[in-house]
């Protein structure tokens, strides 16, 4: 039986990117996948060419790396394998992937895939969340050196520092026929469930349900913010007085002054921000045993031993 051929992209600058590439290639080969590494810095521009004749694309890195390659991978029409090598690995957490990269190789080799949605804001694709306000200030502080030094503690430490410098803003939110105008310190539009190192957009958010979960946090003192943190980690913040939540497939956010938009930890757009869900845009390899916490689990199929470019019963953009 012929091995499947994979384009392999590993961000060696990711927090766990120092893992030997030979180990990853060997683990994939053991699972029947011939992996062909290409340079991360050149991969995005040359993805279509590199993917010719391939059966899948594998990206190793954090959420920022995956965000960078979302559009090139979608353009190939191939399924995606995720190797969690970053600090937060929020997409991997949503999909229920193991944190160990070698174990994640085994998930890819098993070949069970799930159709997931992607978000799009002002033409930029994202997996997890697009947000305005505090998260942008946090992203500015999360340098490579900061994340390597503090690891999983990077996000709470950067968040506390960012809060001190944060200015509130007025946002007008339009979702279908519903419109809200609020003053906020943080506004997030979630496609997946997790973001920011394990925070939850909502306790029941799914990356394959065709809907965004939005929350808008009003300005509060540091003590009040700290008291809300357990609810945000669990995704149970919708009942808090300071939080406004809604669910919709298309959302537009306008602000009194242009503000930067953070997608999956990278600043990529500005307000006014128009977001839409692209339904079942990409097939991603997931564990066979049970759906991840951010999956409904009803779009899972076994990938053919020698895959074609078109996943079975795939849906195009909505």
Can you give the CATH number for the domain in which 99 is found? 3.40.50.10330
In the chain, the number of structural domains is 2
- Cβ-count burial 132-169 (b if 16+ within 10 Å, e if not): bbbbbbbbebbeeeebeeeeeebbbebbeebbeebebb
CA angle 317/283/194 to nearest 5° reads 90
Closest Cα partner for 134 from 156, 163, 161? 163
CA distance 243 to 108: 38
CA distance 101 to 162: 31
Spell out the residues 6+ positions from residue 170 whose beta carbon is closer than 8 angstroms to its own: 181, 182, 183, 184, 255, 256
For residue 172, CA distances in Å to 45, 163, 190, 236, 256 come to 36, 22, 17, 24, 9
Q: What is the pLDDT of residue 97?
A: 96
Q: What is the pLDDT of residue 195?
A: 87
Does residue 161 share a domain with residue 17?
A: no
Closest Cα partner for 185 from 228, 128, 125? 228
Q: What is the mean pLDDT of residues 18-34?
A: 89
Residue 92 has pLDDT above 70, yes or no: yes
**Would 318 be classed as within a structural domain?**
no
**Would 310 be classed as within a structural domain?**
no
Which of 1-5, 143-147, 226-230 shows the lowest mean pLDDT across its residues? 143-147
Residue 266 has pLDDT above 90, yes or no: no
Residue 271 has pLDDT above 90, yes or no: yes
Q: What is the pLDDT of residue 39?
A: 79
Tokens of 105: 């190789």
**Would 311 be classed as within a structural domain?**
no
What CATH number is associated with residue 142? 2.60.200.40
Q: What is the mean pLDDT of residues 88-96?
A: 93
Q: What is the pLDDT of residue 246?
A: 92
For residue 36, CA distances in Å to 3, 52, 103 come to 12, 12, 19
State residue 233 phi and psi, 5-degree precision: -65, -40
Does residue 265 share a domain with residue 131?
A: yes
Does residue 272 share a domain with residue 161?
A: yes
CB 46 within 8 A of CB 69: no
Residue 142 has pLDDT above 90, yes or no: no
**Would 62 be classed as within a structural domain?**
yes
Q: What is the pLDDT of residue 183?
A: 92
Does residue 170 share a domain with residue 53?
A: no
* 272 cis-preceded (ω within 30 degrees of 0): yes
CA distance 159 to 166: 10
Q: What is the mean pLDDT of residues 21-42?
A: 90
pLDDT digits (tens, 9 = 90+) for 149-205: 766 667 667 666 666 666 889 999 999 889 999 999 889 999 999 988 778 899 899
Closest Cα partner for 105 from 193, 1, 4? 4
CA distance 185 to 167: 7
Q: What is the pLDDT of residue 197?
A: 78
At 313, is the pLDDT very low, low, confident or very high (cuts 50, 70, 90)? Answer: very low
How far separated are the first and last CA of the chain, in Å rounded?
Answer: 36
> In the predicted model, what is the mean pLDDT of the chain?
84
CB 212 within 8 A of CB 189: yes
**Would 309 be classed as within a structural domain?**
no
Q: What is the mean pLDDT of residues 137-156?
A: 68
> What is the DSSP code (8-state) at residue 308?
-
Does residue 9 share a domain with residue 150?
A: no
Does residue 285 share a domain with residue 250?
A: no
Place of tokens 């600090």: 87
CB 93 within 8 A of CB 284: no
Q: What is the pLDDT of residue 305?
A: 43
pLDDT digits (tens, 9 = 90+) for 237-250: 877 778 899 999 99
Does residue 176 share a domain with residue 103?
A: no
Q: What is the mean pLDDT of residues 63-83?
A: 95
- What range does the domain containing 296 cover? 4-117+281-302
Q: What is the pLDDT of residue 307?
A: 43
Which of 94-103, 116-125, 188-197, 214-223 shows the lowest mean pLDDT across its residues? 214-223
Residue 300 has pLDDT above 50, yes or no: yes
Does residue 161 share a domain with residue 59?
A: no
**Would 130 be classed as within a structural domain?**
yes
Which of 80-94, 129-143, 187-201, 239-253 shows the lowest mean pLDDT across its residues? 129-143
Side-chain half-sphere exposure of 61, counting CA atoms within 13 A: 24
Q: What is the pLDDT of residue 15?
A: 54
Q: What is the pLDDT of residue 1?
A: 52
**Would 38 be classed as within a structural domain?**
yes
Does residue 205 share a domain with residue 285?
A: no
Does residue 155 share a domain with residue 189?
A: yes
CA angle 131/135/136 to nearest 5° reads 90
Does residue 265 share a domain with residue 137?
A: yes
Does residue 223 share a domain with residue 141?
A: yes
Q: What is the pLDDT of residue 229?
A: 73
**Would 286 be classed as within a structural domain?**
yes
At 281, is the pLDDT very low, low, confident or very high (cuts 50, 70, 90)? Answer: very high
pLDDT digits (tens, 9 = 90+) for 93-113: 999 999 999 999 999 999 999
CA distance 255 to 183: 10
> What is the DSSP code (8-state) at residue 143?
-
Residue 134 has pLDDT above 70, yes or no: yes
Place of tokens 């430490």: 157
């Amino acid at each position: 039986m012929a091995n499947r051929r994979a384009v392999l992209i590993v961000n060696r600058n990711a927090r766990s990117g120092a893992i030997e590439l030979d180990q990853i290639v060997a683990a994939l080969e053991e699972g029947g996948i011939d992996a062909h590494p290409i340079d991360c810095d050149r991969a995005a521009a040359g993805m279509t060419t590199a993917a010719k004749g391939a059966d899948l694309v594998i990206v190793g890195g954090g959420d920022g790396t995956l965000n960078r390659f979302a559009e090139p991978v979608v353009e190939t029409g191939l399924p995606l394998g995720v190797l969690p090598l970053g600090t937060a690995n929020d997409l991997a957490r949503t999909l229920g992937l193991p944190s160990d990269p070698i174990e994640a190789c085994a998930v890819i080799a098993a070949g069970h895939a799930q159709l997931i949605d992607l978000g799009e804001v002002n033409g930029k694709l994202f997996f997890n969340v697009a947000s305005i306000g505090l998260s942008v200030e946090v992203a500015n502080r999360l340098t490579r050196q900061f994340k390597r030094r503090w690891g999983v503690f990077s996000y709470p430490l950067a968040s506390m520092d960012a809060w001190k410098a944060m200015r509130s803003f007025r946002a007008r939110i339009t979702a279908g026929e519903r419109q809200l105008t609020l003053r906020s310190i943080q506004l997030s539009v979630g496609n997946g469930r997790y973001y920011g190192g394990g925070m939850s957009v909502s306790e029941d958010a799914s990356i394959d349900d065709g809907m965004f979960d939005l929350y808008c946090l009003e300005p509060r003192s540091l003590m009040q913010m700290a008291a809300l943190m357990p609810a945000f980690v669990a995704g149970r913040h919708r009942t808090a007085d300071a939080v406004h939540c809604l669910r919709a497939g298309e959302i537009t956010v306008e602000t009194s002054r242009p503000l930067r938009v953070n997608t999956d930890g990278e600043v990529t757009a500005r307000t006014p921000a128009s977001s839409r869900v692209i339904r079942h845009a990409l097939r991603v390899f997931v564990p066979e045993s049970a759906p991840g916490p951010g999956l409904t689990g009803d779009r899972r199929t076994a990938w053919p031993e020698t895959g074609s470019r078109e996943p079975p019963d795939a849906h195009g953009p909505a």
